[in-house]
Amino acid sequence: MRQYHRATIRLFHAPLPPVYANENTAIATRSTCIPESSPEVPGVPGPRRLQTGVAISKISASSGGFTGILEDQAAFGASLAWLGDLDGDGVTDLAVGGGERRMGGSTQSLWILLLNSNGTTKSQTKASSEAAGFPEATDASAQFGDALAAVGDLDGDSVPDVAVGAPFEVTDRTTRGAVWLLFLNSNGSVKSYTKIINDGNSGFSGDVESLDVFGGALACPGDVNGDSVPDLAVGASGDQDGGASAGAVWILFLGTGGAV
């Protein structure tokens, strides 16, 4: 079992000369950072400069302007994704995954941080099965938020959206994993969602079996099939094709609104 200690994030900025926030610099675990200026990701705005002269900005339960509640073993910062500018202030914003591990299970969550130009938190919104926008509960042990990927603006509202992995989501009493596409409001709250899982209802018909760890890693490769909608790569490290846990990657061709 993984052990977690301090739940903190440090944002590093070059003091001089000024650098772009998307200049191939990110600190992430099992996550993806899409350059803001990428022409292949519709809905992600051009580059924005962070304030210069700041060496480090740390975001934690006691620093960086973060006022959310993080309990023991919150694992805040276990996964990260730069989203683009949600609130239109010219500063890119951040998705942060984490979850409290407890005896007999865990409670996963996702934080959407709206940032100031000096890397501190302007405001934060917690997205979880108990929060607004989630009429459907996630399993306590689903590891919701274990992987994150920015996917640009999927629903055409000019606000970037985010993909969230839940590699141990249970469907029909089988631990197959799932991916959630969260459509965000400009304040970071969840407007609606699409759940991608092999249940015969989401449009995804891939043969995902028990403990394939589907959703354990995510990446947005841009528009692969040329339909002007960004697509999504989903890791399934426990896939048995070719041998025990040989692993696999699924390329999901997304439609407008996140349909597969």
- Residue pLDDT, tens place only, 161-215: 999 999 998 888 889 899 999 999 999 999 988 889 876 666 788 889 999 999 9
Phi, psi at residue 99, to the nearest 5°? -175, 145
- The per-residue pLDDT of the chain, averaged, comes to 78
CA-to-CA separations, 253 to 36, 64, 130, 229, in angstroms, rounded: 21, 38, 29, 8
Q: Which of 44-53, 112-121, 212-221 has the lowest mean pLDDT?
A: 44-53
Phi, psi at residue 121, to the nearest 5°? -90, 125
Single out the residue of 44, 19, 49 nearest to residue 32, CA to CA. Answer: 44
Residue 4 has pLDDT above 60, yes or no: no
Position 209, amino acid: E
Phi, psi at residue 117, to the nearest 5°? -70, -15
Single out the residue of 87, 43, 50 nearest to residue 228, CA to CA. Answer: 43
Position 1, amino acid: M
Please check whether residue 217 is in contact with residue 194, taking contact to mean a CB–CB distance below 8 angstroms. no
